[in-house]
Amino acid sequence: MTTHTDAEQPGREPVDESPGEAGTPPAPAATSRWRETLGILVRNRLALFALVVLGVLLLAGLTGPYVAPYGFNEVVVEDRLEAPSSAHLFGTDNLGRDVFSRVLLGARVSILVGVVAVGISLTVGTLFGLVAGFYGGKIDDGIMRLMDVLFAFPALLMAIAVLAILGPGTVNAMVAIGIVYTPIFARVTRGSVLSVREADFVRAARSIGAGDVRLAGLHVLPNVLAPIIVQTSVSLAFAILSEAALSFLGLGTQPPNPSWGRMLSEGRAFIQQAWWIAVFPGLAIFFTVLSFNVLGDALRDVLDPRQKSAIESRGMSA
Amino acid sequence: MAGYLARRGLQAVGVLLGVSVLVFAIIHLVPGDPVRLALGTRFDQETYEALRQRAGLDQPLVLQYFDWIGRALTGDLGVSFRSGRTVMSMIVERLPATLSLAAAAIVVALLIALPLGTLSAVRQGSKLDYAATTFSQAGISIPDFWMGILLILFFSLQLDLLPPSGYVSVLESPWGWFTHLLMPAVTVGVVSGSILTRFVRSSVLESLGEDFTRTARSKGLRERRVIRRHVLRNALVPVVTVTGLQLAYLLSGVVVVEAVFAWPGLGRLALDAVLARDYPVLQGAVLLFALFFLLVNLTVDVLYAFLDPRIRY
């Protein structure tokens, strides 16, 4: 099958080195490598923009309840459907709640769902991929066929089916999204492990008596981290988008808790009188997802140039 | 080739078996009694017993699975806990809406991706290239349901040009069908189009650097002809794969867009089934979606082998 080269993208710094190439032994100066990666990212204007947006988001998530001008569920009936003003930056909703405060607190839900859901897929998927690639044979076949079965369902539909069993809610949405994105991590990890497991430094470690756990955990895993890190950034984008979609459908975060998807769905009914209720949460989702995608692509350029871009991996996984 | 087809077919059957076990498990993994949950306040002993028996829930588990899969193979996906109608008849009823939306969306996606992706590759590094890349990055990041709401706000509520939601059968009124279809198709098509644009671009770029392109140019062919006859023909082969995968996604993954536009398709059917705890309908819809997905994947792989004779399996 033809591989798609993703030739130089406009707006991106050309990068000619490729640290983290599969097959290279662990770098002695790991800290300086990460510093170098960060340096390259900061010089890429788009990536810098993404980092700033994500920094603001993180700050909003951490400090939201303390800096929000109003409570997220503070109902003031006489202020209902007020247009954006200095008193209410993003206006108010149909119950008179401050949209800005709710968007700010919605960041917390999005970050939490993104991090926990991707944490689940990252842990389980990487472990499956590592074991499958490291041992090969029947273990590999068994694990990867199971992943194929999970992969046969369209992502969002699979999440909906899981929520049909678990019931709606933020925690269950995290679990559902976590399950959906597990096969991607398993595939990415397995592919890289296959190219590393026969490398000289792994053979050398084996020859001096290193056991399987030590070999896989200390020698193989650190050398396949680059594509996993890139996949993590892209998956965070999809996880946040999925949580918003599930909450929009009424299956994710439940009222009165603020979730961007839920706010969009509530604002829909008042769109003609009050566009701001649906527009601002939508912008928040858009910029967050965009930033993770841009960061994912920039990280890929630096850490793992052979991997497919965020857009391409979404095209392939539908 | 025959060996490859047989191997690929067998693999698909294996995955489908795994899928069937998972789908079968849905109703059994629900905590509590699924029939009692579905009936809720409408509970009466007679209906309860009848539904349990019809769903085969009074049988041993292994027997239930074989009975369920045997009936599914003959097109019997059980009856709805809610309406009492057969799941198959409900799916067949929703199929035209989903098919028309998926087909229209893929047309929109290709109308965007083919010219934009090709132009941005041919003029690599230009402002147009930059705009195309920005478009595809933005397109993949925009929540489709939000875009749908914005389109409704602008084209229906402000300009009063298009109906905000609903579906009209093409047989009933072709114009009504078209006007109702336009916004959902654009909403879904823009997202798929942004993904495809990126693929077309990188595929055309790859073809532009190939020896056959250099040969065509060195023969003195005009650039337009080189692009059309040599570059595009080769570049579009991998694009077929991704278009196929996108179609599979469109057939089954547009649940949210269907909800925004009150589009009575299969995605909406699955969602309503979840909300109403109508598990047989959910099982039927999910099984069908996975089948779509597998079939499209298989077709795309086979088509790929036919389109590009250089590929040997």
Asked if A250's CB is within 8 angstroms of B275's CB, the reply is yes
Least confidently predicted of A36-45, A81-90, A165-174, A228-237: A36-45
Of residues B18, B202, B279, nearest to A7 (C-beta)? B202
Nearest CA in chain B to A12: B130
List chain B residues with CB under 8 Å of A248: 143, 145, 256, 259
Q: Cis omega before residue A227 (within 30°)?
A: no
Asked if B248's CB is within 8 angstroms of A282's CB, the reply is no
**Averaged pLDDT of chain B:** 85
Examine the pLDDT at A308 and tell me if it is beyond 60: no
Examine the pLDDT at A10 and tell me if it is beyond 60: no
Least confidently predicted of A19-23, A241-245, B68-72, B114-118: A19-23
Residue B162's pLDDT is: 92
Mean pLDDT of B110-138: 89
Least confidently predicted of A80-89, A245-254, A307-316: A307-316
Contacts of B19 (CB under 8 A, 6+ apart): A149, A152, A153, B287, B290, B291, B294
Whether the Cβ atoms of residue B266 and residue B100 lie closer than 8 Å to each other? no
Least confidently predicted of A10-14, A81-85, B67-71, B168-172: A10-14
Contacts of B268 (CB under 8 A, 6+ apart): B94, B255, B258, B259, B262
B residues 18-47 lying closer than 8 A (beta carbon) to A:
18-19, 22, 26, 29-30
Q: Which tokens belong to B17?
A: 């078996």
8-state DSSP, A300: H
* Secondary structure element (H or E) that encloses residue A63, with its range: helix A45-67
Examine the pLDDT at B292 and tell me if it is beyond 60: yes
Mean pLDDT of A168-180: 93
Amino acid at B239: V
Task: State the CB neighbour count (10 A cutoff) for residue A125.
Answer: 27
Mean pLDDT of A143-148: 88
Q: Which of B161, B215, B198, B206 is nearest to B183 (CA)?
A: B161
pLDDT band at B9 (very low <50, low <70, confident <90, very high): confident
Least confidently predicted of A37-46, B10-19, B80-89, B196-205: A37-46
Residue B111's pLDDT is: 95
Query: Most confidently modeled of A220-224, B106-110, B273-277, B299-303?
Result: B106-110
List chain B residues with CB under 8 Å of A316: 242, 245
Asked if A264's CB is within 8 angstroms of B145's CB, the reply is yes
Whether the Cβ atoms of residue A65 and residue A104 lie closer than 8 Å to each other? no
pTM of the model: 0.83
Q: Which tokens belong to B13?
A: 């059957």
Interface test with B, best of A1, A2, A254 (most B CBs within 10 A): A2
Contacts of B38 (CB under 8 A, 6+ apart): B51, B81, B82, B276, B277, B278, B279
Beta bridge partners of B86: B79
Angstrom distances, CA of residue A86 to CA of A75, A82, A83 = 18, 11, 10
Cα radius of gyration rounded to whole Å, chain B: 24
Query: Most confidently modeled of A73-82, B208-217, B239-248?
Result: B208-217
List chain B residues with CB under 8 Å of A164: 26, 30, 273-274, 277, 279, 282
Residue pointed to by tokens 């690599």: B124
Residue A54's pLDDT is: 92
- CA–CA min distance B181, chain A (Å): 20
Residue B310's pLDDT is: 64
List chain A residues with CB under 8 Å of B246: 315, 318
Examine the pLDDT at A89 and tell me if it is beyond 60: yes
Is the CB of residue B289 less than 8 Å away from at least one CB of chain A? yes
Cβ burial, residue A243 (10 Å; 0-12/13-18/19+): buried
Using a pLDDT cut of 70, give the percent of chain B over it: 96
Residues A195-246: pLDDT tens digits?
A: 888 888 888 888 888 888 888 888 888 888 888 888 888 899 999 999 999 9
Is the CB of residue B243 less than 8 Å away from at least one CB of chain A? no
Cβ burial, residue B176 (10 Å; 0-12/13-18/19+): middle
Mean pLDDT of B84-108: 91
- CA–CA min distance B8, chain A (Å): 13
Number of alpha carbons in the 13 Å side-chain half-sphere of residue A125:
31
